[in-house]
Amino acid sequence: MNRRHCAAAAIALVCALTVLASPGTALAAPGAPSAPGAPGVPQAPGAPLVPGPPAPSDSSSPTGKKSLEEIRVELETLYHQAVSATDAYNLAKEDAERQSAEIVKLAQETVKAQTRIDDLKNRAGAAARAQYRGGGLPPEAQLMLTSDPQLFLDGAGRIQQGQKATRDLLRELNTTQAELASYSEDASGQWKKLEANRLKQAKAKKEISTKIAAAERIESRLEKEEKARLLVLERQAADKAQTSWLSSGVMKDIGGTATGQGEKAVAFATAQIGKPYEWGAEGPGSYDCSGLTSQAWGASGRGIPRTSQEQWRRLPRIDVKDMRPGDLIIYHADASHVGMYIGDGAIVHAPRPGRTVTIAGAGSMKILGVVRPDK
């Protein structure tokens, strides 16, 4: 080796040692290939400096700060909060509609009561005018002044009848006025409740929009491959929960058969598979979770509460081991999600925004309990 070649080799060795000694330099494991341009790895002589490749999609977000699993959990939390707010919105809407109907009914009763009062006042006025025309005495009192005994007795009877009619009229007038006051008070109370529920609706709607928008922003930053990987992680998490549920041996006791109404409800719900989730929707083009179950049972001829929380509160509860197709499984501690059991350890449900009505494992989410609409 001549002197020029020795000098070049020495310079290259010094440069390599300098780079390896720099703070933050990562040393590759023995035998591991070094990617050109990776941080801390010397470039080939004369090669341009280029940034290293991004980390694998399944271990970091586009910003490199969160793993896809962390993103999955964050999205699950946001969408769960949106679904919970949807249940609050639906309940407030249902209450507001009921109160509006009650206000209309009270208004109709108020009109009837006012008309009755006007009629009673007219009758009382007619009696007063008649008394005035008789010199302050009603015709019956004047008859009492006659010397004819029969006319006297007739007059006495009419006086008693007239007094009773007057008492009845005054009693009815007082009763009707009290009813009118009660209707007005009830209407005022219903208006206050209506306004309170409208505020609840507006608050829930804002929360729904906020949570969904936050989730959509996160998803919009994901690459196509990352979104595909995210779906895989979602399925894996659901499968893991379902496997754990099945391994408990719960299915060995579940074998009930659906009633006629239950079969109709299941048929309706499964016919909606593929339709999009939309908060507050009750079909026919889209559904939220309780919109699907309430419409399915409505189609079978049995009305049930609109929201999952009310379904949990008001419908008869049964043990999981006694489930049969058509029963409703309520999920999460706040009863914010519901699916319909269809047999073989599966449910049909509307999962969340961005997803469609689908079949899933009955144990893929945390079960709160089971209710039976046709018990």
Catalytic center residues:
289, 337, 349
**Structure-token pair, residue 300:** 């079978």
For residue 21, which amino acid is it?
A
Give, in order, the Cα–Cα distances in Å from 52 to each of 17, 36, 39, 44, 262: 21, 8, 6, 14, 59
Q: Which of 320, 327, 331, 273 is nearest to 302 (CA)?
A: 327
